[in-house]
């Protein structure tokens, strides 16, 4: 039996292919959420094409990267992206509903990742901790999220770690926020406007939940440069509502949902076709990203939040065994944070290895 031939990482282009791909990107921008910005982007592409700005690009991956940089630089939208696929892309359109077998396969993949609920635990001093790697659909993650909220229900502060979270379902963002906000009155969290249908979908907290709400206790949300899209929305919602303290790094700003478009056998494009609109601010985080209340390197965010929670508990805790646990935990976490900070500073000061010399 012949061995499978690996898909090529480099796929050469001729002039006709290059022009066809550039024009496919140009035409697909018709779906972009901002008609005004789409026209600017299309005019820029036309100008570059006529000036021979793409003539020296000789492979598909390089063309995808170049167009992505150009589109993002002009629009400021980090979600506008063109991708190269070494494998032939399927013909399936985004509007095609998934089959029962497709849904079952997706659920199984999600289940094996524990629905992106990576860690749930009680930290020292009775501080709850939930690490989420993504926002899987509520029909997938709902039971697991209820179990997580049940586990942390009796803690006295909660850290929600979204540092490695790249987004997902806005419905699950609303579900998680519902656990952190009162049942009544319902809270209007976010709107999503879709240009093609000219409709707005509202997202509100839900009145009934299968696990206890986490109320009247401090919440800390950790973010990093990797936090994106729906994860940014979650942090933004809680920050605007003054329900959480946001710690970590400034995010890039992925506020506009959309879909992928197949441009050919090996090229596809993600186009934001909708826009998030916060009902309180009247805008979103696409231009600013999420600006943390406490700016700290992502590596130090967890210990910084844990120490902040313990300090707050120490100031409000009555005399007794729990106060002693908080005090002991505070000293240990402060020591760990100082050690971690010193290690990080040492790494930053360490000179880069010379590529021409082996390390001793």
Domain topology for 100-258+272-297: 2-enoyl-CoA Hydratase; Chain A, domain 1 (3.90.226)
197-248 residue pLDDT tens: 889 999 999 999 999 999 999 999 999 999 999 999 999 999 999 999 999 9
pLDDT score recorded for residue 354: 57
Residue 276's contacts (CB-CB under 8 Å, 6 or more residues apart) are 190, 191, 192, 233, 255, 256, 257, 284, 285, 286
Residue 66's contacts (CB-CB under 8 Å, 6 or more residues apart) are 54, 57
Burial 235-254 (b: 16+ CB within 10 A, else e): bbbbbebebbbbbbbebbbb
Full 3-state SS string of 44-112: HHHHHHHCCCCCCCCEHHHHHHHHHHHHHHHHCCCCCEEEECCCCCCCCCCCCCCCHHHHHHHHHHHHH
pLDDT score recorded for residue 92: 64
Cα 40 vs. chain centroid, distance in angstroms?
A: 27
Got the DSSP string for 8-41? PS--B--HHHHHHHHHHHHHHGGGSS-HHHHHHH
Residues of the chain below pLDDT 70: 1-10, 92-95, 352-360
Q: What is the CA radius of gyration of the chain?
A: 24
Distance (Å, whole) CA 178 – CA 208? 9
What average pLDDT does the chain have? Answer: 91
Distance (Å, whole) CA 277 – CA 189? 9
127-172 residue pLDDT tens: 999 999 999 999 999 999 999 999 999 999 999 999 999 999 999 9
99-108 residue pLDDT tens: 899 899 999 9
> Do residues 339 and 299 touch, judged by C-beta distance below 8 A?
no
Q: How do the domains of the chain map onto residue ranges?
A: 15-84, 100-258+272-297, 306-346
CA angle 40–289–27, rounded 5-degree value: 25
């Amino acid at each position: 039996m012949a061995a499978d031939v690996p898909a090529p990482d480099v796929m050469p282009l001729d002039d006709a292919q290059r022009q066809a791909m550039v024009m496919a990107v140009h035409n697909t921008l018709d779906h972009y959420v901002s008609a005004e910005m789409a026209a600017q982007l299309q005019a820029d592409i036309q100008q570059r094409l006529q000036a021979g700005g793409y003539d020296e690009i000789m492979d598909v991956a390089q063309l995808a990267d170049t167009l992505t940089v150009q589109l993002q630089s002009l629009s400021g939208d980090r979600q506008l992206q063109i991708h190269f696929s070494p494998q032939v892309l399927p013909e399936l359109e985004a509007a095609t509903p998934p089959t029962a077998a497709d849904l079952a396969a997706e659920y199984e993949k999600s289940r094996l990742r524990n629905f992106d609920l990576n860690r749930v635990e009680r930290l020292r001093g009775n501080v709850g901790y939930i690490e989420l790697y993504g926002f899987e659909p509520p029909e997938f993650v709902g039971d697991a999220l209820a179990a997580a909220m049940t586990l942390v229900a009796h803690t006295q502060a909660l850290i929600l770690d979204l540092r490695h979270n790249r987004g997902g379902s806005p419905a699950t963002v609303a579900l998680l926020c519902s656990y952190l906000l009162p049942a009544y009155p319902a809270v209007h969290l976010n709107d999503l406007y879709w240009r093609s249908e000219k409709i707005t979908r509202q997202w509100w907290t839900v009145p009934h939940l299968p696990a206890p709400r986490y109320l009247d206790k401090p919440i800390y949300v950790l973010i990093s440069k990797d936090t994106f899209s729906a994860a940014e929305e979650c942090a933004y919602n809680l920050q605007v509502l003054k329900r959480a303290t946001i710690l970590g790094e400034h995010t890039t700003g992925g506020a506009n949902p959309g879909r992928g478009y197949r441009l050919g056998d090996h090229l596809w494009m993600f186009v934001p076709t909708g826009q998030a609109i916060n009902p309180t601010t009247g805008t979103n985080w696409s231009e600013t990203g999420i600006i943390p209340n406490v700016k700290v390197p992502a590596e130090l965010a967890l210990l910084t939040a844990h120490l902040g929670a313990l300090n707050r508990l120490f100031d409000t805790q009555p005399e007794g065994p729990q106060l002693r646990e908080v005090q002991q935990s505070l000293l240990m976490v402060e020591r760990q944070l100082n050690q971690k900070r010193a290690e990080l500073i040492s790494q930053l000061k360490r000179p880069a290895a010379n590529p021409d010399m082996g390390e001793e």
